């Protein structure tokens, strides 16, 4: 499956709305910048029907190098972004389960 890039979004939205591609790119980039800034402040971002992003702290854990016995080390806690799908997105992708399982075989 091909990936959808920011450029693909710009072209598609520009064609559908008649806006200049440069303006569409600016709107998309500013939207992404604001999402990043909000997450960097520790705020959650909720996009109805799509999903929500939340900053969480992972627990510290012990890591091991299987090639070296007795080389345990602590992986420190760190902030990560978790994404939870919204209801509409979850419903739209639920039909892909069978298709993706067939492709794995």
Listed by start position, the domains of the chain span: 1-43, 46-105
Alpha helices (H) in 1-105, listed in sequence order: 6-17, 21-40, 87-93, 96-104
Tokens standing for residue 83: 């994404």
pLDDT for res 105: 63
pTM (2 d.p.): 0.78
Residue 97's contacts (CB-CB under 8 Å, 6 or more residues apart) are none
Q: Which CATH superfamily is domain 46-105 in?
A: IHF-like DNA-binding proteins (4.10.520.10)
pLDDT tens digits for range 58-91: 999 998 888 888 788 899 999 999 999 999 999 9
Kind and range of the H or E run holding 85: strand 79-85
pLDDT for res 47: 96
Helix, strand, coil percentages (3-state) for the chain, rounded to 5, are 45, 20, 30
């Amino acid at each position: 499956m091909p990936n959808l890039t920011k450029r693909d979004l710009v072209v598609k939205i520009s064609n559908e709305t008649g806006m200049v591609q440069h303006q569409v790119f600016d709107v998309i980039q500013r939207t992404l910048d604001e999402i990043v800034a909000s997450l960097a402040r520790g705020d959650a971002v909720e996009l109805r029907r799509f999903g929500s992003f939340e900053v969480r702290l992972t627990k510290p854990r012990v890591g091991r190098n299987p090639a070296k016995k007795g080389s345990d080390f602590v992986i420190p806690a760190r902030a990560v972004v978790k994404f939870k799908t919204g209801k509409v997105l979850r419903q739209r992708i639920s039909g892909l389960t069978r298709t993706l399982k067939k492709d794995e075989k």
